[in-house]
Amino acid sequence: MSYTKRFDGRKFDEIRKMEAKVGVIPRADGSATFKIGDTIATVAVYGPRSMFPRFLQNPEKGVLRCYYDMISFSVTERKRPGPSRRSTEINLVTEKSLLPVLDLTQFPNTAVDVYIQITQANAGTRCAGICAASLALAHAGIPMKDLVAAISVGKVSDKIIIDLDKKEEDHKEGATDIPLAFTGRGKQISLLQLDGEVTKDELIKAIELGRNGCEEILKVQKKALQDYYKGEIRWMEIILNP
Ligand code: CDP
């Protein structure tokens, strides 16, 4: 059997509808929401602020700490509250995907804490979290060389597709999930995970699909920042469109 038509009718290279908004949590130093299909990530950034416990401080630069969490009723089968092995992994890969664009050298001995809440989940939550976190860090005014956009690509049955939803991830003929993140202008890969099996050629094709998808995401991210700062400052335009 072959996967000829996607369950939700999308084209194989079509991303679910996206929405992004910056400045959604007034008390936070930076915040953003990123929605892709039914998956919604909201991020609050606090910092740079003094880091405790002190022994974790780095006298040379600030430390990025990500805290990913999925609320219990974000999924159909209630998720046990609190951290898990999965969230520990996602915290680590999220930090790794964002660090290449951040310059924390001006903030020794501090922490930049990034709280990622998934309020509704239908696959691709780590990628949605990264997209929102990148926006929230920019909103917090943390020096950044670039934005980061992330999307999951993969293989469902015999097809290479972008932005798998949960039904596709659970396809009876098997699915391979490849979360990817690209830096905006640099186009460097800052996240690549692979859960399943693909050939080398399929992987190359999937990465290309992801690269194009991240271009689209980047447009949505830039628009969210531009909408927030509308009319206020020209430097944001200069940064986003050098
Ligand atoms: O969300 P992401 O694709 O980054 O990570 P995953 O571990 O591959 O999870 C895929 C999807 O499974 C999530 O987006 C949720 O929709 C679902 N999930 C769930 O229903 N219950 C959990 N405890 C964890 C994930």
Residue reference for tokens 């800052």: 190
Give residue 241's pLDDT.
65
Any ligand 1 atom below 6 A from CB of 122: yes
State the Cα–Cα distance between residues 148 and 182, nearest whole angstrom.
6
Distance 170 CA to ligand 1 centre (A): 10
Distance 171 CA to ligand 1 centre (A): 14
Atom of ligand 1 nearest to the CA of 129: 4
Count the alpha carbons within 13 Å of 167 in the hemisphere toward its beta carbon.
8
What is the pTM assigned to this prediction? 0.95
Buried b (16+ CB within 10 A) or exposed e, 75-88: eeeebeeeeeeebe
> Which residue has the CA at smallest separation from atom 10 of ligand 1?
123
From first CA to last CA, the distance across the chain in angstroms is 48
Ordered per-residue pLDDT tens for the chain, 242 residues: 788 899 999 999 999 999 999 999 999 999 999 999 999 999 999 999 999 999 999 999 999 999 999 999 999 999 999 999 999 999 999 999 999 999 999 999 999 999 999 999 999 999 999 999 999 999 999 999 999 999 999 999 999 999 999 999 999 998 999 999 999 987 899 999 999 999 999 999 999 999 999 999 999 999 999 999 886 655 555 566 66
In total, the chain counts a number of residues equal to: 242
Any ligand 1 atom below 6 A from CB of 150: no
State the Cα–Cα distance between residues 144 and 131, nearest whole angstrom.
14
Give residue 242's pLDDT.
61
Give residue 237's pLDDT.
58
CB 144 within 8 A of CB 137: yes
Q: Determine the 3-state secondary structure of 26 from DSSP.
A: coil
CB 193 within 8 A of CB 93: yes
